[in-house]
Amino acid sequence: MVTNFVEIVDARLVLSAIDATYGVQFLYETVTGRTWEFDRNSDAVGQNVTKRTGRIKVFFNPLEDTMVFNEDAKRPRTYVMSIEKAREIYKLLTREQSPNYWFALDMASMAEKTSA
């Protein structure tokens, strides 16, 4: 089986905060494999099946020349979490006043750790 991440185009964001201008991409995880790998009782031979796993990858992409704190450039930018946590992150990022880059990274890190 092969795991892939596919971008959710409608959820792409570009935010301008006080400490940095950054983009955020949301990608859903899929697993592709033969039919028998998903269902041992399947009679299909040679068919590929793609299924979503229910996990979302959130990828942050800051413009480094706009960053106020250089140490933020060294932090991880990719977080994998459940769909529910990704929705919470999306709601947080689309508020009227977009959060600072470091705060968004903190929230994504916490969401990744608390995802089941």
What is the tens place of the pLDDT at every residue in 71-108?
Answer: 888 899 999 999 999 999 999 999 888 889 999 999 99
Task: For residue 19, give the nearest of 60, 66, 80 by alpha carbon.
Answer: 66
| pLDDT, position 72 | 83
DSSP letter at 73 equals G
Q: So what's the pLDDT on residue 68? A: 86
Average pLDDT of span 29-55: 84
Q: For position 80, what pLDDT does the model report?
A: 95
Q: What is the pLDDT of residue 34?
A: 85
- pTM value > 0.95: no
Q: Concatenated DSSP letters for 97-115? A: SPPPHHHHHHHHHHHHHH-
